[in-house]
Structure 1
């Protein structure tokens, strides 16, 4: 696609098509499907802003991955300010590994496994083995040299092999009693379709996001969200965890009760002040570590 044809409409269409792939990268870099969506949203805003500011775009897909990569790096730096930074020794010569087995291993690895890698290793493994970029395209996205990219890829692959052989017994996180009480009340009222009572639980200044669809501000706007649920029957809510966070799981009773989405709620006392509904972000559901408490 030439720069002359790459107008805003083309960029917006490409962002829609690439969003699942951008999320796969961002979620694995952050170790969280939820934080991955935050990174993607930041990258989308930056890409549209750069385009509107007259940025020259020669290879749009690589350009978008570079923006997502930089957004992920910024996110990690913010998160790690109070953590010990990981270090990585230099390797100057390395032999490329066969990609087929490595690709299967990386695709199956959990987000927790990727967090055991250094950021450089994470980037290299995700871009090459999960998303299928070449080494040279990966260098273009990350800005690293070919030697450094090969070294990070080799070490990351080796670490994932080690982690894959280790037991994955992770205990269920503990749920705060007050948080459990609030969530169970919300779930019970929602499942009973008592949406007037559910609306009574949300704050006047509620911020509600249906991820990948819309944002609603204030109680009046947010009330339409509940009406949309009242018109369909392909859902039932239950309690669980998503990436270690207390969450409401959206199950589909018409498809073997499979989890089709999840909802995260921030509270101020007993009032919901922020709701994020991931029902229409299937790419987040695919990447998330979802663990049920009920059922």
Structure 2
């Protein structure tokens, strides 16, 4: 299978794979992290010559080691790193960060300022404060419809009195299928 067909097949399965990863981790957000790492590994394996014709026929990873690894990562003890801090805990030490999931990553106040400017100029969305899986979030609703269910969300990580990290799921609409969210009361 050529790389274009391989990437297309991964894209077609992405929503389903995300639901599976979210179920295994117990979190839609953590499931997205596992999914992204898995897709990177799949693309690397394909580039190295591994052939997978039947995507549905491969069994999921099994065993206590895999599940233990997920629990450790969720607790902030990543088995991926070489003993350094978990990426989320290191974000504040290195300035502002933006992860526009499935699109791009930016760092630095100037780059992220453009992000806020574009959101402020956009008229097709309305916003509300909320929590996604217990994490502070900006809920984004389509301006033309009822504000019943967000179209997407952005997770916000704070450090002292400013936002240190933003993870915006605009380009991951399948996240809303498996995400537990609530609106925070205004007051």
Shorter-normalised TM-score: what interval?
0.7 to 0.9
Distance 1:255 1:288, change over 3 A: same
User: Does 1:44 find its partner at 2:44?
Assistant: no
More helix by share: 1
- 1:29-178 counterparts in 2 under 5 A? 29-63=24-58, 66=59, 69-70=60-61, 76-80=67-71
TM-score, normalised to structure 1's length?
A: 0.50
Instruction: Output the CA distance in 1 between the equivalents of 2:177 and 2:184.
Output: 19
Instruction: Note the aligned Cα RMSD (angstroms).
Output: 2.7
| Structure 2 residue 164 is matched with structure 1 residue 285 | no
The equivalent position to 2:164 in structure 1, one of 273, 277, 281, is 273
Matched position secondary structure for 1:9: helix
Larger Rg: 1
Deviation at 1:278, TM superposition (A): 1.4
- Cα deviation per residue 1:54-100 (whole Å; 9 max; x = unaligned)? 2132323444xx5xx3399766312435xxxxxxxxxxxxxxxxxxx
- The secondary structure found in structure 2 opposite 1:294 is coil
The structure 1 residue matched to 2:21, chosen from 6, 10, 26, is 26
Number of the residue aligned with 1:16: 11
Distance 1:286 1:72, change over 3 A: farther
Aligned-partner Cα distance in 1 for 2:37–2:12: 17
Deviations 1:221-269 (A, max 9, x none): 3233223313321222222221222322112231111311111112222
- Corresponding position of 1:229: 119
Q: State how far apart, in whole Å, the 2-side matches of 1:269 and 1:72 are.
A: 40
| Paired position in structure 2 for 1:238 | 128
SS at the partner of 1:281? coil
Distance 1:18 1:243 in 2: 24
1:98-123 CA-partner distances (Å, limit 9, x unpaired) = xxxxxxxxxxxxxxxxxxxxxxxxxx
SS of residue paired to 1:70: coil
Structure 2: segments with no counterpart, 5+ residues: 73-91
SS in 1 for 2:95: strand
Q: Residues 245 and 228 from structure 1, CA distance in 2 versus in 1: closer, same or farther, beyond 3 angstroms?
A: same
- How many residue pairs get matched? 166
- Displacement of 1:274 in angstroms is 1.3
| Contact 2:96-2:107 at 8 Å conserved across structures | yes
Following superposition, the deviation at residue 219 of structure 1 comes to 2.5
How far does residue 204 in structure 1 lie from its aligned partner after superposition?
A: 7.2
Specify whether residues 58 and 289 from structure 1 end up closer, same or farther in structure 2 by C-alpha distance, changes over 3 A only. same
SS in 1 for 2:150: strand
- Out of 93, 96, 105, the residue aligned to residue 206 of structure 1 is 96
1:18-53 superposed Cα distances (whole Å, 9 cap, x missing partner): 111111111111111101111110111110111112
